[in-house]
Chain A
Amino acid sequence: MAGGIHTDIPDDETGRLGRFLAALRPFTRSLSFVVGAVLFGFVVLVTLLGPFLTDVSPSALSMRNRFQPPSWDHWLGTDNLGRDMLARVIYGAQLSLMIGTSVVLLNAVFGVMLGALAGFYSRLDNILMRVADALMAFPAVLLAIGIAAALGPSSMTAIIALSVVYIPRTARVVRSSVLVVKQLDFVLAARAAGATDLRIILKHILPNSMAPMLVQLSFVFAYSVLSEAVLSFLGLGAPPTVPSWGILISEGRAYMREAAWLTVVPGVAIAVTALGLNLLGDGLRDVLDPRMKVAEA
């Protein structure tokens, strides 16, 4: 991961496992990282194991069991059509995490590529960063909502809209660390050895710009989960047949007085996921680059 960590490994730790554990040690010392990893890991685990944890279908109707408060049979209660909320929240997690993961991957590819190009080639820098400035001049969620409205509501739309919003921000973060790293002596050495630009960027600059990028990506994941909820709450994300967390909140809203759990439960799910990711980002920053300040949204 980060080059600096390996120097901390004591000599007596040999073997793959020993080296791996030693490299992990700084991470386990960060409380933020550990708590964040546990929270987010829990969400991921429940999402992946979801179909095995509950044998109830998220869309199974049961008119006799409408508006059941949380109980032993229905841990998180049932909704206005008697559907099991636990099953719905778990299936909603699949969608949230799928969209978040897609946005993060697109950010990792395009944000890093554009950021590296802008940082490395000063001629491209001006153009790329003005485009980024223009995209960042729009309030994030407003731009996402606008794009989603133009493209028509779907999960794909949400992914595209959120990527357009966050890629310029990721590119900015990558660019600024590339600007620093490219001044370092080993880049000059690589150039003197006759390395091509592509090789210098891929083998020398990017691996040494990883820390801010990883931190940024974990925050992008958190923002994506939160913004996707806004999009689907407004009816601009996934279709209502998919129990996305935003849709669950908007459906529960009509019954807030008599069945508050319908609104509360999906909100807590969003908050736990975002909290885990934010803590993970903080922890990564503490370990990988203690000098970095709070990343700008």
Chain B
Amino acid sequence: MIAYAVSRLLQAIPILFLVSLFAFGMIYLIPGDAATVMGGPEASAADLERIRENMGLNEPFLQQIVSFYVNLLQGDLGQSLMLGTPVLDAIIDRTPITLGISLYSLAVTIVFGLLTGIVAALNHNKLLDQAATLFALIGISLPNFWLALVMIVVFSVHLGWLPTGGYVPFSESPMGWLRTTTMPALALALLQAGLLTRITRSTMLEVLSQDYIRTARAKGLTEWQVIGQHALANVMMPVVTVLGLILSVLLSGSIVIEAIFGIPGLGALMGNAILSRDFPLVQGGLISIACSLLLLNIVVDVLYFWLDPRVRIKGGD
């Protein structure tokens, strides 16, 4: 297993290189003078010079890319133009907030998506199945930022159950945290729950048609034993593999959701960085998010390898 993990990590190196290269190259997509775009309309000549100096834009291209990688390997992602602090510190500061909401949302997604998917598959082509399928379809078709706004109108403005926005840290007041994060987590969860329901349902349908399920039924096990012990274990595997995808969609969604609810997390940080053209922060954010997701996918694959004997025999793919 260790050999497998090491080989997966080695395979990730060229991808990590390309990821950082794309993030680096982003600045060259800016039409015209990058410093002018980043400085905004009010920047003075001195401001622009400071930006060029800060980002090394005056250096020759080769020098820029070399120092970018030298800094990157030392964990230095540069200085944020907007905040004036190191990019890495800003990202590390905001990550726990987004991570908390993402995990909350992930928990809702898993419970809801798995349950609906399994119930749908067990009632294949019956009313419950159709209702679950419709729910999943609507889930993946609604814009989540729109859903967030509608939830604010319903639950905050009309019913007054939850605040319209803001954020209370868990350490300050767990109840306050729950009140401020429930709507964002639900708005984020809907899309993923739809995805997970669809995947769980189709996997479960496939598993249920397998010989070992027929065998389990034939030897007289109760339906609970058949589903709980034989089917569920096999359904979990593909579900585990989509976790990386789900977390990626969650992080994407957090940009606009955190902006709507005024939550000072990583998503809002990235959103503000993008809107104020703070490219060092955008680059640093893209690199750290992509790297974390890649690592997460490797961890998931290694777990999969460890859990599923079939992958181990084939040597993984």
Cβ < 8 Å to A, chain B residues 121-161: 137-138, 140-143, 145-147, 149-150, 152-153, 157
| Residue of B with least CB distance to A295 | B198
| Residue of A with least CB distance to B276 | A149
A266 to B206 alpha-carbon distance, docked (Å): 38
Q: Is A233 in contact with B253, judged by CB distance below 8 angstroms? A: no
A266 to B149 alpha-carbon distance, docked (Å): 12
Q: Is A131 in contact with B245, judged by CB distance below 8 angstroms? A: no
Contact with B along A159-185 (1 / 0, CB 8 A): 000000000000000000000000000
Contacts of A151 in B (CB 8 A): 29-31
A18 at interface by CB-CB < 8 Å: no
Q: Is A271 in contact with B248, judged by CB distance below 8 angstroms? A: no
Q: Is A233 in contact with B256, judged by CB distance below 8 angstroms? A: yes
| Residue of A with least CB distance to B250 | A139
Q: Is B19 in contact with A138, judged by CB distance below 8 angstroms? A: yes
Cβ < 8 Å to B, chain A residues 283-297: 293-294, 296-297
Segment from A7-15, A100-108, A209-217, A252-260 that makes contact with B: A252-260
| Residue of A with least CB distance to B192 | A297
Q: Is B145 in contact with A140, judged by CB distance below 8 angstroms? A: no
Given contacts A140-B249, A263-B146, contact A257 B22 (CB under 8 A): no
Contacts of B253 in A (CB 8 A): 141
Q: Is B141 in contact with A150, judged by CB distance below 8 angstroms? A: no
Contacts of B198 in A (CB 8 A): 294
| Residue of B with least CB distance to A252 | B149
Smallest distance from the beta carbon of B116 to chain A beta carbons, Å?
A: 14
A114 at interface by CB-CB < 8 Å: no
- Our pick among A222, A234, A235, A297 for the contact of B141 (Cβ within 8 Å) is A222
A249 to B146 alpha-carbon distance, docked (Å): 7
B77 at interface by CB-CB < 8 Å: no
Segment from A48-56, A81-89, A199-207, A272-280 that makes contact with B: A272-280
Q: Is A146 in contact with B26, judged by CB distance below 8 angstroms? A: yes
Smallest distance from the beta carbon of B142 to chain A beta carbons, Å?
A: 5
A264 to B151 alpha-carbon distance, docked (Å): 11
Q: Is B289 in contact with A142, judged by CB distance below 8 angstroms? A: yes
B18 at interface by CB-CB < 8 Å: yes
Q: Is B252 in contact with A271, judged by CB distance below 8 angstroms? A: no
Q: Is A256 in contact with B26, judged by CB distance below 8 angstroms? A: no
Question: Which A residues contact B (CB, under 8 angstroms)?
Answer: 130-131, 133-135, 137-143, 145-147, 149-152, 222, 226, 229-230, 233-236, 249, 253, 256-257, 260, 263-264, 266-267, 270-271, 274-275, 278-279, 282, 293-294, 296-297
Additional pairs, 8, CB under 8 Å, beyond known A234-B255, A271-B141: A138-B19, A138-B286, A140-B249, A142-B251, A150-B279, A236-B275, A249-B145, A278-B141
A-B contact pairs, 5 of them (CB 8 A): A139-B249, A142-B270, A146-B282, A271-B138, A274-B142
